[in-house]
Structure 1
Amino acid sequence: MRQLHATTVALDGRGLVILGPSGCGKSSLALEMMALGAGLVADDRTDLRLSAGRLMAQAPLPLLGRIEARGVGILTAEPAPPAQVVLACDLGRAEDQRLPPRRHVEWLGIPVLLVLGPYRPHLHAALRQLLLGRRVD
């Protein structure tokens, strides 16, 4: 098992791990995704594990069903079950290309598609669509 300083949401069991330094907007992006139907897997810390060859994300028990809304407080949310990680977004690394190459990050030996931030107004909608569809290369 590996623990990341990251927030994770899921759509249809497909997980998005949101990375970045403190205060970069991980929880804000997760809240936007949740407003579009994503479930909260974990906020602030995400536990990763392998299960039948799949990379799975879940919340540490003390954080289950909780998310920080900066300037509002800690909110409760119906916790989503552990999700298979299929996508990552790093809000701490800038994307300088309009149509970037396919990038990956690897956790526990499993490559995961990586999108670089920082936050852009359409990012939550694009990530939702990427979770539900696929990227055309």
Structure 2
Amino acid sequence: MTAVQPVHATAVAQWGPGIGWRAILISGPSGAGKSDLALRLIGRGWRLVADDYVHVFASGEALYTTAPDTIRGRMEARGVGVICACLRGVVRLVLAVDLTESTPERLPDPETRRLAGRSVPLLRLAGFEASAVEKVASAIAPL
């Protein structure tokens, strides 16, 4: 296991039959919609891993994510305050999502993000776009 890398991001996880829990890491500038996208995913049955700061570490060839103890089970909902959320512990990280204010490319070339010495696929999205939830879900769907 590598050292834990703290990342300014939000992580949520989805259960996949026969696959288990898989997490995505949502990053972007303040106000880009990280927690908003996470709340919409949670509304579709996903679980919070961590909000605002996420611990990422490598074990073997895989990346994993978990919440710092100080914020475990809580997330900030802009305009509401800090709320409690269903929680997952340590989850394998399978996708990084970078929220952008500019319009993402229609057919982007594949990208990766390097975390804790490993690479994970990277998807760039407009966080407040209505279709962002479906885009994230399809990006991690098994083929």
Is the pair's TM-score, using the shorter chain for normalization, greater than 0.5? yes
Question: 2:37, 2:58 → 1: CA distance?
Answer: 26
Aligned 8 A contact 2:104 2:124 in 1 = no
Q: Give the equivalent residue in structure 1 for 2:7.
A: 4
Q: Give the equivalent residue in structure 2 for 1:25.
A: 33
Question: 1:8, 1:94 → 2: CA distance?
Answer: 22
- With normalisation by structure 2, the TM-score equals 0.87
Aligned with residue 127 of structure 1, among 107, 115, 136: 136
What pairs with 1:1-137 in structure 2 (closer than 5 Å)? 1-12=4-15, 13-92=21-100, 94-119=102-127, 120-134=129-143
User: 1:101: how far off?
Assistant: 1.2
**Higher deviation after alignment, 91-100 or 27-36:** 91-100
Question: 2:142, 2:26 → 1: CA distance?
Answer: 18
Question: 2:103, 2:120 → 1: CA distance?
Answer: 17
Aligned 8 A contact 2:58 2:117 in 1 = no
User: 1:95: how far off?
Assistant: 4.9
Distance verdict in 2 for CA 1:61–1:124, change over 3 Å: same
In structure 2, the gaps of 5 or more residues are: 16-20
AA at the equivalent of 1:31: L
RMSD: 1.5
User: 1:53: how far off?
Assistant: 3.0
AA at the equivalent of 2:120: V
Question: 1:2, 1:71 → 2: CA distance?
Answer: 29
In structure 1, the gaps of 5 or more residues are: none
Aligned residues: 134
Distance verdict in 2 for CA 1:110–1:5, change over 3 Å: same
